[in-house]
Amino acid sequence: MKKGFLFVLLFAVFFVVFLTGCATSPFPNVTESGVIVQTIAQGRPMENINIGVQVTNNTSDYIGNVRVSLVSINGNDNLAPFELWKSKREADLREVANTTTLDSGKSSTFYFRVTSYNYLEPKAYPMVINVTYRDANGIDQTITKNSVIEVLAPNGFYKFMRDIIDWIYRLVRNYGVAIIILTLIVKLVSHPLTRSQLRSTARISELQPEMKKIQEKYRDNPQKMNQEISRLYKEHNVSMMGGCLPLIVQLPIFFILYGALQNYSPFNTSAFLWLKDLNTPDPYYVLPVLVFISMFLQSKSSQVPGSPPDPNTRMMTYFLPAIFGFMSIQWAPSILIYWITFSIAQVGESKLILRRLRPVPSTISSDVERPKEMKELDSIVREDKAKTQPSKKEKKQVTEESQMRKQKEGGKKKSGGTKEKK
């Protein structure tokens, strides 16, 4: 269980880095002297593209009144074939860093956001950036930076998911509803994996008492303890990766959906409930709260009834929903709608699967103490079987009626034979 907890924790850390992009800075370190301007702009067709401009002061004194402006794209002053989305063409240092001066050795990053609602040819589109500032001597300076916006070829997996979303949108005329329907389709497709995961977890919970005895017996010999646990799993035909493998298989689907739902330009003009669009974080924080609640319910519903309480599982039940609920404050509603719908569907699916599951016939020796909840579950199953089977009295009555019926039939045959003789 500790290894499983460590795996989930490492995945959560990786996931945070993946979503926030906080692993490394997109701009390389510069050593040249003077005021250095670096740009980065990269995206795919039909996506919102962030243009990052980093201004680094490598002079011996401060500079002030730093202003960055987006002059043209592809030689067009109107920025065609792009257009601004929730962004201005000029940005001031005061808006970015809440200061009017940039000290020596410091840097500041300015962002612009452009989009296109038509499919663009994948290539580099020329871009001109102007940076103006006032040096320590009070002289205004201007730097013109020629750069490009790199439009990459569409990702095949993302495009496939977006084509499905667009097809559903043409039927329901709302992208929020289309995302919900797509999520339910994905949940339906992944149902066999979820069922396999819960069945494996249920079988492992059956072995918990025996595993506890092994852990206590070989407490001072970890190698022998692992061997005995592996032997126990093998004897009862339980896979050690049975609970994790279906989850790992579903991860690529999630990452594909995350990429498909992020920054998709048609979401810019699609309202849903109180949301003006599906690419701007929820200003009222309703969706992040729903992420926490739905993930908490999902964790609770995935626990097998009768399984002994585990401190790691209990911690993950509260830890992960809190972490992801906090992080989702800055996520696009398109992703959160998928996340909440998936979690709620998972709650109903888990309850349905666990309700249909019956305790696995245990071959564990009877001297092993079973959890109280599991004993209660077994007694309920026995009662259900007893209700469907006839009692001894009913069996005896049926037997007597059958014998009387045979005697009557035998008497009729005998009387018929006597008449024929006469």
Which of 197, 195, 202 lies closest to 358 in space, CA to CA?
202
Domain limits, CATH 2.60.40.10, in the chain: 31-154
Name residue, tokens 């003789």: 421
227-271 pLDDT, tens digit each: 777 777 777 666 655 555 556 666 788 888 888 998 899 999 999
Q: Residue 386: its pLDDT value, please?
A: 54
Q: Is 236 helix (H, G, I), strand (E, B) or coil?
A: coil
Q: Residue 364: its pLDDT value, please?
A: 43
d(C-alpha 136, C-alpha 138), whole Å:
5
161-204 pLDDT, tens digit each: 999 999 999 999 999 999 999 999 988 887 777 777 667 666 76
Say if CB 122 and CB 138 are below 8 A apart.
no
Q: C-alpha 250: how far from its chain's center?
A: 9
Name residue, tokens 């399984």: 307
> Within the chain, which residues score under 50 in pLDDT?
1-8, 14, 16-24, 359-370, 373-374, 377, 380-381, 384, 388, 413-414, 418-422
**Please, which residues have CB within 8 angstroms of residue 269's CB and are 6 or more apart in sequence?**
277
Domain 31-154 maps to which CATH number in 1.10.287.180, 3.40.50.300, 2.60.40.10, 3.40.140.10?
2.60.40.10
Q: Is 306 helix (H, G, I), strand (E, B) or coil?
A: coil
d(C-alpha 27, C-alpha 39), whole Å:
8
Q: Residue 285: its pLDDT value, please?
A: 92
